[in-house]
Amino acid sequence: MLRDVLGTPGHESSGKCAGFTTQQLEVIRERALARQEAPASAQQIIERVIAPMMYRILFTRETPTPQDIQRLLVALATSSEHL
């Protein structure tokens, strides 16, 4: 992702990664809605799950564990903000 964003003059591709991620999350979200679930928005998932994971992957020496990811997902799922 960083190569795609930073490797282009003027950063014309900076929105491509976010657009692709949002598109994929919306597909998953539509499936959840079809099952009559109440999923978080793509933006909430990006802000509360993906962004913390990417920060940790890119800027710390610690790789996110499955437990870390589960903790982020549980925090998102139990948040009343998206319901």
Kindly report which listed range (16-20, 41-45, 50-54, 65-69) carries the lowest average pLDDT score: 16-20
What secondary structure does DSSP assign to 55-69, as a single string? HHHHHSSPPPPHHHH
Dihedrals φ, ψ of 19, to 5°? -65, -45
Read off the pLDDT of residues 19-35 as tens digits, 9 standing for 90 and up. 888 999 999 999 999 99
User: Is the distance from CB of 32 to CB of 68 less than 8 angstroms?
Assistant: no
Looking at residue 14, what is its pLDDT? 62
Q: What was the pLDDT predicted at 19?
A: 85
Phi, psi of 62 (to 5 degrees): -105, 130
Asked whether residue 47 carries a pLDDT value surpassing 90, the answer given is yes
Return the structure tokens found at 63: 């790789």
Query: What total of structural domains would you count in the chain?
Result: 1
Domain range for 67: 2-82
pTM: 0.75
